Amino acid sequence: MAGTDLSGGAVAVAARQRPWAARGESDARRGRRPARRGDGRIAWVFLAPALIGFALFYLYPTIRGAYFSFTDYDLLSSPHSVGFANYTALWHDPLYWNALRVTLQYVVINIVSQTVLALALAWLMFRLTRSVLVRVLLLVPWLVPNVAVGLLWLWLLDANLGLVNHLITAVGGSSQGFFTTPSLAMPTIAMINTWQYTGYTALLFYAGMLQIPGNLYESARLDGAGELRTFTRITLPLLRPILALVLVVSLIGSFQIFDTISITPTHGGPINATRAVYYYIYELAFTQFRMGYACAVAMTLVLILGLLTFVQMRLLRASRSDLS
C-alpha cells in the first residue's frame, strides 16, 4: 500500500538479482530435466498460504473491482448494475480530467527533479566517499512516514509563521501561501516528496554506479576525459538498466500520490489544484460513498499504469544489451 517504496525496493532487487539472468538459468534447468519427477503435491503445500492470500486479497478484489465499476454501489445496499453509465459519466466529469491533469503535473515535477537531484547526489557520493554514515543519514526522510513528513513541511512552509517564509521575507521577498496559491500548491507537494525520496533514489543509483567496472574509469582518466565527460559517456550509459528501472517504477509510484495531499488542510484544493486521481478516488469512495464510480476511475488508472508497465517492459528488454 506504499506504492513508491515498494516499487523502489523492487527495483533494487530486480537489478540486484538480475531476473533475466536467473530466468535464463531456470529455463536451462527446465530444459535438462529429463527423468526427474515433479514435486506437484508438496509444491502446493509450500504455495498454499501465499496462494490463498493472493486469491482472496488480490485476485478476488480485482475481479470484484471490475464488477463494481459497472454498478451503482454505496457500500450499504447491494450493488446494482448500471452498465457503462459510470464510464460515460467520468468521460463527462471535469473533475476526473482535472485529476488526471494535476496528477500528471505532479508526476512530471516530482520525477524530473527527483531523478536529476538523485543522480547528482549519487555521483557526488560515488566520487567522494564510501561512508555508510552519509548513506544512512540520506535515508532518514524515506523512513519517516509520509504523514509526518507532510506535517513537518506544512509547518516549515506555513504562510504566517513558517521558517521558509521567514527566510524569504528576511531577504526581501514577499511571503508565499505555498499550499493556498493554486499555481504553487501542486509543485509544493511535488517538491516535498522529492525531498523525501531523493536520498533513497540516490542510494539506488549509487549502488548501480558501484557495479560499473572500475577499469573503465581508469582508461577514461588515461584518455584525459574530464569529470563531466566521464559521467555522460561512461556512467550514464552503463547505468541505463538501473536508471530505466528506477525511472519507470518511481513513475508508477508517483501516480499514487495520496498521503501528503490528504493531510493538507485544503483537501484537494485550492480550486481542485491538488485533487490528484488517487485522492479523487478516495473521496468518491469514502466521503461520497460512490463506490461504483470510484472503481471505474480506479479502472482507468489501472489501464494507464498498465500502459506505463508495458513501456517499462520495453525499456527492460532494451537495456539487456548494455549489460554484456
Instruction: Tell which positions 96-125 bind another protein, by CB under 8 A.
Output: 119-121, 123-125
Q: Rg of the chain over CA atoms, in angstroms?
A: 24
Write out the binding residues for another protein, residues 182-201 only, by CB under 8 A. 195, 199-200
Segment interacting with another protein, rule: CB under 8 A, options 94-102, 151-159, 173-181, 183-191: 151-159
List 108, 147, 271, 318, residue binding another protein (CB under 8 A):
147
List 115, 141, 179, 261, residue binding another protein (CB under 8 A):
141
Q: Which is nearer to another protein, 41 or 92 (CB)?
A: 41
- Establish if 89 lies at the interface with another protein (CB under 8 A): no
List 71, 98, 256, 272, residue binding another protein (CB under 8 A):
256
> Whose grid coordinates read 506437484?
40
Q: Is the peptide bond before 270 cis (omega within 30 degrees of 0)?
A: yes
Backbone angles phi, psi at 80, to 5 degrees: -125, 145
Quote the DSSP letter at residue 179. T
Nearest C-alpha neighbor of 2 from the set 256, 300, 284, 227: 256
Signed CA dihedral, 119, 125, 130, 135: sign only: negative
Shortest spacing between CB 60 and another protein, in angstroms: 7
What character string, x for contact with another protein (CB under 8 A) and - otherwise, covers 44-73?
xxxx-xxxxxx-xxx-xxx-xx--x----x
CB atoms closer than 10 angstroms to residue 240: 18
Shortest spacing between CB 175 and another protein, in angstroms: 12
Kindly give, in sequence order, each residue whose CB lies less than 8 Å from that of residue 8, ignoring residues fewer than 6 positions away: 197, 200, 201, 204, 246, 249, 250, 253
Write out the binding residues for another protein, residues 13-42 only, by CB under 8 A. 13-19, 22, 25-26, 30, 33, 36, 38-40, 42
- Establish if 88 lies at the interface with another protein (CB under 8 A): no
